Amino acid sequence: MKNIILALLFFTTIKLSAQEINIIPQPVSVKSVPAGVPFKIDITTSFYTDLGGNSAISFLDNYLSQYYNLKLKWFKNPELKRKNIINVIIKKGLNNVNQYQLTVEQNAITITANSDTAAFYGIQTLIQLLPTVKSTPLNIPAVEITDYPRFGYRGMHLDVSRHFFDVAFIKKYIDYLALHKMNYFHWHLTDDHGWRIEIKKYPKLTEIGASRKGSIIGLWPGKGNENIKYQVLPNEVKITPKDAVIKTDGIPHSGYYTQEQVKEVIDYAAKRYITIIPEIEMPAHSMALLAAYPELGTEPNSKYEVAQTWGMMNKYNNVLQASDTTFKFLENVLAEVMELFPAPYIHIGGDEASKIWWKKSLLSQQIMKANGLKTESELQSYFIRRMEKFVNSKGKTIIGWNEILQGGLAPNAIVMSWQGEKGGIEAAKQQHKAIMTPENIMYFNHAQFAKEDSLTANKFSPLVNVYNYEPIPTALNAEQAKYIWGAQGCLWSEYITNPAKVEYLLFPRLDALSEILWSPREKRNYADFQKRLKMQFLRYDLMGITYSKRYLSNNY
């Protein structure tokens, strides 16, 4: 009898909690209507949308069908007397272009939005008002919500170079971002460990560069390689012992996206109002490229291979030669990439370019002399500026990691600050847009617990640290702060070999990130966030999303 009573109490609690307002990210204004009658969604409910809002309604229609087995009717003609209807109305003139208002009454749910994008955000909020268990009807609590985002750039990154993830999962990842009102997906497509995008002019990039022979086991330098030491000196990399051979698991890893698949993903994201920013790494992190086209390196007679080990790749010669041949090659690559991606931004990397390879190269030194460059840092800046000029000529803007500040920042570049906040602060003071993604907090491939369930990068970024992060540094004054465009979380895939682990590391840190980027700063409250997470986890259970069950306790 005692167990029966406890079970009834549990299910009663779940039922009641489903009627609470537990939205992530926290809206600007939420007014529950205590005496209001809930709206009931069942097979008799219908949709109405005017000229806009089709993508928003389509998303909700698919969501209800997938998770609740409900298929509703659509109406395109307004009928004020129609009851049991979900209205999406585009109405210009609200204070913010991304503002929406959501009202739930007994006979109707109405989303009034300033734009199609805002209507879509309203739908994401409505989804979080749905019960987290399948039932008939679906009761939606009476509520009035006014909402709009704090930051213009709300981004999440995924590295598919170190481990490849198929199109089906990339679409699922985009849906996760949409649910959290994120608006930029940074797709890290090339690196030392694999070239993942088809370039028709240079087929060897995927024929050779999209496959590696194996991967190290465990953290760098990998199991069985503990005796190998690297010293990156001013003019050389010293390896001890000299005849060291890296041991790997010997398991081949490969994969790439065709241009048709890329178009498919871009279209999918566009219908969720997410802009995809592709990243094509240069001038370093280019071992996969050099394996296919060694003539573009500073040691063209060397045998380049797609990297099998993780860690700082400046221990290897992964740097492109700053020659006219290289620039023409990269221009041709980026021309195809920019033709595919409608985004006004192209990420060109620019990080961790070890200068010793240019110091050792006679041709590099000749290029520096011919262009009046005194240091290798200036050579890097010269490289980035050359590529920026080409990208700008196509009407687009480059984004680069904060190392692009070295030797002088390219005129129109946007800086993504990963080595702490210093790069973002410097860029903002130079009146350049900056995106904050400091590694110690915003790299979600780092452990979320002191003792993790599986191997992660060897640092610690708990949920509370993510939630308490403030993207605008105190070092900036009010005018300079305007250049902080937003922030981004990053997932590097060295130790992420399958979609379930992507989800495990993403959730719920993505929830925290979404709230710091969307919600008013003064509304941030970690204890309240933890309470709302309880409902979010039930929603993740409904959606089949993997996350750590440790979060279901209060000991995290």
For residue 285, indicate whether it is catalytic: yes
Buried b (16+ CB within 10 A) or exposed e, 96-127: eebbbbbbbbeebbbbbbbbbbbbbbbbbbbb
For residue 193, indicate whether it is catalytic: no
Mapped onto helix, strand or coil, the DSSP state of residue 277 is: strand
Question: Which residue among 191, 198, 281, 376 is the active-site one?
Answer: 191
Dump the DSSP string for 356-370: HHHHH-HHHHHHHHH
What is the 3-state secondary structure of 467-526? HCCCCCCCCCCHHHHCCEEEEEEECCCCCCCCHHHHHHHHCCHHHHHHHHHHCCHHHCCH
> Would you tell me how many other CB atoms lie within 10 Å of the CB of residue 555?
7
* Residues of the chain by 3-state class (helix, strand, coil), percent to 5: 35, 20, 45
Contact 517, 487 (CB under 8 A): yes
List, in sequence order, every residue forming a beta bridge with 401; answer none if it has no partner. Answer: 416
Question: Which residue among 157, 285, 347, 446 is the active-site one?
Answer: 285
For residue 188, indicate whether it is catalytic: no
Question: Which residue among 336, 352, 378, 452 is the active-site one?
Answer: 352
Q: What is the number of H-type helices and E-type strands within the chain?
A: 18, 25
Distance of CA 524 to the CA centre of its chain: 22
Distance of CA 416 to the CA centre of its chain: 13
Q: Where are the alpha helices (DSSP H) in 214-307?
A: 259-270, 287-292
Active site members: 191, 285, 352
